[in-house]
Amino acid sequence: MNNKFITIITLFLIPGLVSAQEINQANTVWVLTSTALVLFMTLPGLSLFYAGLVRSKNVLSVMMQCFAITCVVSLLWLCGIYSLAFADGGSWQAWIGGTSKFFVAGAGTQTLNGDIPEIVFFMFQMTFAIITPALIVGGFAERMKFSAMLWFSALWLVLIYTPICHWIWGGGWLAQMGVKDFAGGIVIHVNAGVAALVAALVLGQRRGFPTIAMPPHNMTMVVTGAGMLWFGWFGFNGGSALKADGSAGMAIAVTHIAAAAGSLTWMAIEWYRFGKPSVLGIVTGMVAGLGTITPASGFVGPVGGLAIGLIAGIVCFCATQYVKRVLKIDDSLDVFPVHGVGGMIGSSLTGVFAAEQFGGLGLNGITISEQVGVQVLAVLVTTAWSAVFSYLILKLLDKTLGLRVTADEEMEGLDIVLHEETGYHNL
């Protein structure tokens, strides 16, 4: 009686929308919840995580960047990016979507596969598009102009995120080859990680790096943000099932296992090498585990989740040390060695641990080597596309707006210089 009453009221108040009888309400509620969880990852999760990692004079600048990116990407997604990523591209389908979904035309009356309202899928995918350029902020933190950051994020979304998203998730040529990327190991983590590395190289090192220590200014903030990321990642990976069923449950389970394994592995390595386990190490290991399991989360079982988490902790730790200490590249918040390298490893290993003999859901009749080959191809293509176009965008902006604040402005801090505000009034 209550359900019928709610349905009648809904149809009366909101005419033209999809009938509640035409959708799977459990799946719809789960994807709606996951949408909120993924946005929670960016605001406030990633914002707090990144803000705690930088120096106190730049804490607001990082939060401002994450907030502004959320707003810019949301409007671009509405105007046409969603359509170019997910609409039918006709004869261009292999490469890019069409224009039929500009301003989400018809989404209020249509369902996705007859199961959930398309407007819900639109919102869910929007949160993925938001967090991807926000991740890149960690590569150029504490030295890029705010105006340049806005233009870079917008152009990067259009020229890099959109086609790669379509190729893999929108029915493009990589999807037609059978690539497996459940929740964004390639589309998000490899893509953003490579762009962050290119940004760090183009902008150059922060003043004083690597001779002057630049430790996180607020580890309490970092751990709080990390906890929010872990929590929100359940929507990130579990929601990508687009169903409230066992596949979502397994995705959440392996996500949690990989995060725990990555955390403890990173902590153990630091403890052995440096004599003490650090809080920064254990939360960074968590992010490495989460990013690495993301592409595999809907295809592997608990054994695969454990193995991928352990490997992530080892490889991402080594990559971080190599990039910072050997190559001396100032990827400020380790976006490439954690997200980029983690995404590459996880995407490649998806072809292994998705096999039934490792407890996965199977490879649909092809061999492990064939699936790994497709996975590696997608990683290489994404790496090349992101690297080349990120470089071109950055160089164009450098010639027009200028990318970097002056040396004096950088020393004073971006909070005061760019926003005329401070995070802490007693400083």
Q: Tens of pLDDT along 357-385?
A: 999 999 988 999 999 999 999 999 999 99
Are 140 and 62 in contact, with CB atoms under 8 Å apart? Answer: no
Position 427 confidence tier, pLDDT thresholds 50, 70, 90: low
What pLDDT is stored for residue 5 in this prediction? 44
Are 356 and 362 in contact, with CB atoms under 8 Å apart? Answer: yes
Indicate the angle between helix axes 279-293 and 302-321, nearest 10 degrees.
120
Average pLDDT over residues 174-196: 97
Work out the burial of residue 295: count CB atoms within 10 Å of its CB; fewer than 13 is exposed, 13-18 middle, 19 or more buried.
buried
The per-residue pLDDT for range 119-141, each reduced to its tens digit, is: 999 999 999 999 999 999 999 99
Position 109 confidence tier, pLDDT thresholds 50, 70, 90: confident
The domains of the chain are located at 25-94+107-419
The per-residue pLDDT for range 150-167, each reduced to its tens digit, is: 999 999 999 999 999 999
Q: HSE (CB half, 13 Å, CA atoms) of 358?
A: 20
Average pLDDT over residues 340-349: 98
In the beta sheet, which residues pair with residue 116?
112
Residues 6+ apart with CB under 8 A from 226: 45, 49, 283, 286, 287
What pLDDT is stored for residue 113 in this prediction? 72
Structure tokens at 303: 């054994």
Percent of the chain with pLDDT over 70: 94
Q: Does domain 25-94+107-419 have CATH number 3.30.70.1520?
A: no
Amino acid, res. 88: D
pTM reported for the whole predicted model: 0.93
The per-residue pLDDT for range 195-253, each reduced to its tens digit, is: 999 999 999 999 999 999 899 999 999 999 999 999 999 999 999 999 999 999 999 99
Checking if the pLDDT of 13 tops 50, the result is no
Are 223 and 274 in contact, with CB atoms under 8 Å apart? Answer: no
